[in-house]
Amino acid sequence: MSRVVRILRAGRMSYAKSLRLQRLVAASHLGTLILTEHPPVYTIGIRTNVYPEYEERRLKALGAEYHRTNRGGLVTFHGPGQLIAYPILDLKNFVPSVRWYVQSLEEVVIKMCLIYGVKAERCKDTGVWCGNDKICAIGVHASRYKTSHGLALNCDSDLSWFSHIVPCGLPGRGVTSLTRQLDHPITVDEVTPTFLKCFAQVFVCELKEMDKEDVNELLRASNEEIKTDEKINNKKSE
């Protein structure tokens, strides 16, 4: 197996910081799988051309952050209890097809759910579904076959956050989690090893932990960029 993908365990971080981290990884460590969790945040994809400002204010008033992004898809929620995976890959080293890539991400989650005894499947709408309910949202960006963004798998998420939106712009569809499907709590930490095993199988790659020094340097650089942006924004508001 010649393809190696590095695992970067970022811990819990803000969505804004994760965007900086993805950009830094793409510039210096292409071929990396970022694993993280986010504090409560609603994100809007490029398919949402107009999302009223009053809706943004309403969602922020719930105690969540709000971000417009360049990923595919519509509005969704990220928060504690979700396994967030951002593969930063060059698809030319795999299969140069975004459609193949999205279907492969779906296949990773379907295989993983099956191991836990949960029947999950794909349908005409992107993501992974348990019947009428989405268990994993997928929204990716690819430029010249280099990927960013990724997937959010509900493990033991507080699903009530989704009640304030139409998840992924699909009225009449619901959301679920591994915890709800299994009727007992199952955490991100419990799920992660199985997820990684399935990722390696589907993408036919060897997963290796990123060197700790590289991880720390990337996280430090992400923090510095956030601080710089905050200083610029503060000056603009003065």
Q: What is the pLDDT of residue 50?
A: 62
Percent of the chain with pLDDT over 90: 78
Active site (annotated) includes residue 136: no
Query: Does 147 carry a binding-site annotation?
Result: no
Q: What is the pLDDT of residue 129?
A: 97
Q: Convert the pLDDT of each residue in 140-188 to its tens digit.
A: 999 999 999 999 999 999 999 999 988 766 677 899 999 999 999 999 9
Are 157 and 82 in contact by the 8 Å Cβ rule? The answer is yes
Mean pLDDT for the stretch of residues 91-96: 97
Percent of the chain with pLDDT over 70: 93
Closest by CA to 199, choosing from 237, 165, 142, 150, is 150
Q: d(Cα 79, Cα 39) in Å, to the nearest integer? A: 5
In sequence order, which residues have a C-beta less than 8 Å from that of residue 103 and are 6 or more positions away?
122
Q: Convert the pLDDT of each residue in 4-48 to its tens digit.
A: 999 999 999 999 999 999 999 999 999 999 999 999 999 988 765
Query: Does 200 carry a binding-site annotation?
Result: no
Q: What is the pLDDT of residue 199?
A: 99
Closest by CA to 221, choosing from 53, 13, 48, 45, is 13
Q: Phi and psi at residue 213, in whole multiples of 5°?
A: -65, -40
Q: What is the pLDDT of residue 121?
A: 97
Dihedral sign, CA of 9, 15, 17, 18? Answer: positive
Are 76 and 137 in contact by the 8 Å Cβ rule? The answer is yes
Q: What is the pLDDT of residue 75?
A: 85
Query: Does 182 carry a binding-site annotation?
Result: no
- Model pTM above 0.95: no
Q: What is the pLDDT of residue 54?
A: 86
- What element of type H or E holds 103? helix 98-115
In sequence order, which residues have a C-beta less than 8 Å from that of residue 139 and are 6 or more positions away?
43, 45, 69, 71, 72, 73, 76, 126, 149, 150, 151
Domains of the chain in start order, with CATH, are 4-230 (3.30.930.10)
Query: Does 138 carry a binding-site annotation?
Result: yes
pLDDT at 235 over 70: no
Q: Convert the pLDDT of each residue in 178-208 to its tens digit.
A: 999 999 999 999 999 999 999 999 999 999 9
> Out of 113, 130, 155, 168, which one is annotated catalytic?
168
Query: Does 63 carry a binding-site annotation?
Result: no
Q: d(Cα 103, Cα 50) in Å, to the nearest integer? A: 28
Query: Does 75 carry a binding-site annotation?
Result: yes
In sequence order, which residues have a C-beta less than 8 Å from that of residue 141 and are 6 or more positions away?
69, 70, 71, 72, 147, 148, 149
In sequence order, which residues have a C-beta less than 8 Å from that of residue 193 and are 6 or more positions away?
none
Q: What is the pLDDT of residue 1?
A: 55
Query: Does 74 carry a binding-site annotation?
Result: yes
- Listed in order, strand segments (DSSP E) in 20-90 are 32-37, 41-44, 65-68, 75-78, 82-88
Closest by CA to 25, choosing from 221, 225, 208, is 221
